[in-house]
């Protein structure tokens, strides 16, 4: 029996997830879609030759008896209402990052899930499913580099569109590091600071790019993350863990090494879709399998909240230049 999915938001990642759920992964089919651009939703149904109903809005889709589980891939500000509606309907929901655009919104989702009494929410933080991050975590956990002391990270995009604002470097981009580094270190953040180097002339209008975010964890690990969203040359994700007796680096995605014309080179990917293609497959397959087994797992609403609390502090730190404390309440036993 295939899990019958409804997808809210048929833009870039919505189309990608629809394609993978209906063509690549096992055990699911997309039976319903919706988008505020209804024509686009209908076009996606045609292009991907889906047997899917185009619903008037996300709430109608969630109510549909055909829909057994929901994927939320619409714009961030709409996530909270759809996730809450899915929980109210008792339907499992995979929500793309961010879970909600504020910590308050994430908190409401956590409370609704706690009141429901069973996990229904998986957040689309795909990096913990990436083979490179998993290998890095295995080394860190093995103790081979000793206790982690510092992390040096970078999140670089070749360029961003005109609607990308300075705070989106946190809510849209850094949010991945805020999640995956907690997972990697099994630790929580206690303070943040944001520094602005000289602005790149390639950044449009009012965008302050690049930025450096400094994070401190409860165990005293210091992390620097460079966010540079107009780096021009490629989509480049770096993570180096400095331990007491060694250093571990996130592996580069596998590429052919070329010796040619007096050069030794290997290509750099240009976009996130390619860089994390396998991780997106694995996270969604995990969601489908978990729903089939009656138990949602993976990055939880609590992880969504933890990232959002740190993101809120980073936004304050962007504005004030000060070191801002991060106050995450104690984790309920429900979230393990």
Residues that bind ligand ISE (CB under 6 A): 157, 172-173, 176, 272
Closest CA relative to residue 275, chosen from 239, 309, 314, 323: 239
Q: How many CA atoms lie within 13 A of 90 on its CB side?
A: 3
Please count the residues of the chain: 336
State which residue, 17 or 108, has the beta carbon closest to ligand NAI. 17
User: What is the nearest approach in angstroms of ligand NAI to the Cβ of residue 148?
Assistant: 25
Closest CA relative to residue 52, chosen from 114, 120, 97, 4: 4
State which residue, 34 or 68, has the beta carbon closest to ligand NAI. 34
The window from 28-36, 139-147, 158-166, 291-299 that contacts ligand NAI (CB under 6 A) reads 28-36
User: Residues 82, 58: contact at Cβ < 8 Å?
Assistant: yes
Strand order in the sheet with 53-54: 53-54, 28-34, 3-8, 69-72, 93-96, 121-124
75 lies in the site for ligand NAI, by CB under 6 A: yes
State which residue, 3 or 280, has the beta carbon closest to ligand ISE. 280
User: What is the nearest approach in angstroms of ligand ISE to the Cβ of residue 250?
Assistant: 14
Q: Six-digit token pair at 148?
A: 């982690």
Binder of residue 124, out of ligand NAI, ligand ISE, none (CB less than 5 to 8 A by kind): ligand NAI
State which residue, 15 or 173, has the beta carbon closest to ligand ISE. 173
State which residue, 172 or 303, has the beta carbon closest to ligand ISE. 172
Strand order in the sheet with 189-195: 247-249, 236-243, 148-156, 222-228, 211-217, 189-195, 324-325
Binder of residue 157, out of ligand NAI, ligand ISE, none (CB less than 5 to 8 A by kind): ligand ISE
Number of amino acids touching ligand NAI (CB under 6 A): 24
Cβ neighbours of 212 (radius 10 Å):
15
What pairing do the DSSP bridges indicate for beta strands 247-249 and 258-260?
unpaired
Contact characters 108-137, ligand NAI, x per CB under 6 A: ----------------x-x-----------
List all residues 6 or more positions away from 331 whose beta carbon is below 8 Å from its beta carbon. 302
Given 272, 296, 301, 315, the residue binding ligand NAI (CB under 6 A): 272
User: What is the nearest approach in angstroms of ligand NAI to the Cβ of residue 279?
Assistant: 9
What pairing do the DSSP bridges indicate for beta strands 69-72 and 3-8?
parallel
298 lies in the site for ligand NAI, by CB under 6 A: no
Binder of residue 309, out of ligand ISE, ligand NAI, none (CB less than 5 to 8 A by kind): none
Q: What are phi and psi of 103, to 5 degrees?
A: -65, -35
Binder of residue 312, out of ligand ISE, ligand NAI, none (CB less than 5 to 8 A by kind): none
73 lies in the site for ligand NAI, by CB under 6 A: yes
Task: Find the residue with minimal CB distance to ligand ISE.
Answer: 173
State which residue, 40 or 134, has the beta carbon closest to ligand NAI. 40
Task: Find the residue with minimal CB distance to ligand NAI.
Answer: 11
State which residue, 113 or 130, has the beta carbon closest to ligand NAI. 130
Specify the residue for token string 């030759």. Answer: 49
User: What is the nearest approach in angstroms of ligand ISE to the Cβ of residue 157?
Assistant: 5
User: What is the nearest approach in angstroms of ligand NAI to the Cβ of residue 79?
Assistant: 6
Cβ neighbours of 206 (radius 10 Å):
8
User: What is the nearest approach in angstroms of ligand NAI to the Cβ of residue 203?
Assistant: 20
Provide the binding-site residues for ligand NAI, judged by CB under 6 A.
Answer: 8-14, 34-37, 40, 58, 73-76, 78, 96-97, 124, 126, 172, 272
């Amino acid at each position: 029996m295939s899990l019958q999915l409804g997808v809210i938001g048929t833009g870039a990642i919505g189309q990608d997830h629809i394609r993978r759920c209906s063509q690549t992964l096992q055990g699911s089919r997309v039976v319903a879609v919706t988008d505020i651009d209804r024509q686009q939703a209908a076009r996606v149904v045609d292009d991907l030759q889906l047997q899917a109903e185009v619903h008037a809005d996300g709430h109608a889709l969630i109510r549909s008896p055909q829909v057994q589980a929901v994927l939320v891939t619409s714009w961030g500000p709409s996530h909270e209402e759809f996730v809450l509606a899915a929980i109210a309907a008792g339907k499992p929901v995979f929500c793309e990052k961010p879970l909600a655009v504020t910590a308050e919104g994430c908190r409401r989702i956590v409370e609704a899930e706690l009141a429901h009494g069973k996990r229904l929410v998986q957040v689309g933080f795909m990096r913990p499913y990436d083979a490179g991050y998993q290998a890095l975590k295995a080394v860190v956990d093995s103790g081979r580099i000793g206790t982690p002391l510092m992390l040096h990270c970078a999140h670089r995009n070749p360029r961003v569109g005109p609607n990308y604002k300075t705070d989106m470097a946190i809510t849209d981009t850094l949010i991945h590091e805020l999640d995956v580094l907690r997972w990697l270190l099994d630790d929580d953040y206690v303070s943040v600071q944001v520094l602005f180097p000289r602005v790149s002339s390639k950044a449009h209008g009012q965008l302050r790019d690049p930025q450096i975010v400094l994070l401190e964890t409860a165990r005293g690990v210091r992390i620097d993350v460079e966010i540079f969203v107009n780096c021009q040359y490629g989509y480049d994700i770096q993570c180096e863990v400095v331990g007491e007796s060694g250093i571990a680096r996130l592996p580069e995605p596998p590429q052919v090494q070329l010796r040619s014309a007096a050069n030794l080179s290997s290509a750099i990917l240009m976009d996130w879709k390619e860089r994390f293609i396998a991780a997106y497959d694995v996270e969604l397959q995990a969601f489908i399998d978990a729903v089939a087994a009656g138990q949602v797992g993976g990055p939880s609403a609590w992880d969504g909240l933890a990232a959002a609390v740190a993101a809120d502090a980073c936004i304050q730190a962007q504005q004030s230049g000060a070191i801002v404390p991060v106050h995450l309440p104690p984790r309920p036993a429900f979230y393990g």
